[in-house]
Structure 1
């Protein structure tokens, strides 16, 4: 098979294809969950992802050594849409020395004793680093809303607080990418069945998943409010078709790679005297060869 970098449609832009339009009202019902983009099927998409992941690793190395910029990747999705798989196959391939994943679960008592962004801010990336949020601060305008954990007067104020929080991160030099993995009701149920049929995945089973399916319309409305109120040029949302796992992986890899390329991290300038370093190396090498004789 030829190099997939050379036979994709040059007019196809993954960011433009999946980034929502600023100021528009998103209807998830109108967005395809089974898109294949510019690919000629699964093998083509996986080959592209393999190359994109290699490029991401190299760009992340440059950003880590530059130690000036940082990247925050936010993942939100219904259950079984593939956040864990995406992290394992794509995002988790970055060097863990400069990249860490944070799975945000139900807040504990200490976290509840602080403002809702307290636990989030502590996990944002330092200069040179990448943070991946598996669920995020958006749970505090999604789950708490649909499950009536806090009153509307509380959660509706959080949209502005989230926007201010993300503006602060951008001001510090953090690029933000937010992904919603868009899975159909039918595909989600099929994946629940696969979990039920596979004993190694029984730990993922939760009766609450079916309760969430009963509230799918309410969650959809909550997400659509998030997309409208918390999307900007500097902190964009991308809606990723996720019924086909290989396309989910390829499109996110493409967007992360393109973003890192735009950030254009540079290797640090060299302070050492290279001629002197070469002289020292040649001396040590000569001595080592002499001792072998």
Structure 2
């Protein structure tokens, strides 16, 4: 699965978007059950958490991926947060504040559907959004220069390093969708009445900025893929394949944590198990 891991600078235009793996649906069922079981062990171990970051263009399949990959988890073991346009309260704090609040506690998975990277993606495509953050040194779009973005990437890298050093296992997945497949999915939303609610005219406006978004994604991925917080570029034109790859990558990486084990019973409890059974059976 290292094929998809970003370990050196990439060019998104040279990466695959359409990959089909036979039996992806069948294989996913097995892996997601193992992941759910592993989360229970991690909960009992109580020293690690897992943060799963999902990014991608509109219609890349983030929602359905979350539904399918985490289907066999204990509902209390996974927390999903979808980050929309910042609220007035959120804008009253620094841009990472709301992401700190949503981080998973030890023993749990946290899934960010869109992430702190929106702050170097959509805001980079639309820099006027930064003006709403109330940053003292930013009074106009002209103040948002290369040095501003350099600092923001530095802050994000520091944020993730801090999380990793305190026991959060970080996965960052870019669902790499082709422009043609996005067109097909948008048309499907318009053709199927039950899907109409998902369509927004704003999707078409953002689609016109496809190349700009791709440039910003490429830069963000290259600047922030680190050993402790790697990016994986996942071909997303085929949804079953994308879901399987995400689950498989997480499974393989997490199984390497040999120290995560169910805690052993204390000596007294272990020595009296038969006594406790007898007491319960003879109530």
State the TM-score, normalized to the length of structure 1.
0.87
The match for 1:5 is none
Unaligned runs of at least 5 residues, structure 1? 1-13, 289-293
- Distance, in Å, in 2 between the alignment partners of 1:262 and 1:229 is 26
The match for 2:12 is 28
Unaligned runs of at least 5 residues, structure 2? 131-140
The 5 A counterparts of 1:1-293 are 14=1, 16-22=2-8, 24=9, 26-36=10-20, 39=21, 41=22, 44-148=23-127, 149-150=129-130, 151=141, 152-153=144-145, 154-264=148-258, 265-271=260-266, 272-285=268-281, 287=282
Deviation for aligned residue 1:68: 0.3
Deviation for aligned residue 1:92: 4.6
- Distance, in Å, in 2 between the alignment partners of 1:57 and 1:183 is 27
The range that moved more, 265-274 or 138-147, is 265-274
Deviation for aligned residue 1:77: 0.4
Deviation for aligned residue 1:275: 4.4
Deviation for aligned residue 1:97: 1.3
Q: Cα RMSD over matched residues? A: 1.5
The match for 2:137 is none
Q: Deviations over 1:113-157 (max 9, x none)?
A: 110000011111221111100001100000011022234334442
- Distance, in Å, in 1 between the alignment partners of 2:156 and 2:276 is 54
- Check the 8 A contact 1:60/1:260 in 2, yes or no: no
Deviation for aligned residue 1:29: 1.1
- Distance, in Å, in 1 between the alignment partners of 2:237 and 2:54 is 16
Q: Deviations over 1:38-94 (max 9, x none)?
A: x4x2xx111111111111011111001111011110000001110001000003532
- The alpha-carbon distance between structure 1 residues 156 and 211, as it changes in their structure 2 partners (threshold 3 A), is farther
The range that moved more, 146-155 or 127-136, is 146-155
Deviation for aligned residue 1:169: 0.2
State the TM-score, normalized to the length of structure 2.
0.90
- Check the 8 A contact 2:36/2:70 in 1, yes or no: no
- Distance, in Å, in 1 between the alignment partners of 2:6 and 2:16 is 13
- How many pairs are equivalent? 266
Deviation for aligned residue 1:220: 0.4
- Check the 8 A contact 1:140/1:155 in 2, yes or no: no
Deviation for aligned residue 1:196: 1.3
Deviation for aligned residue 1:227: 1.0
- Check the 8 A contact 1:144/1:155 in 2, yes or no: no
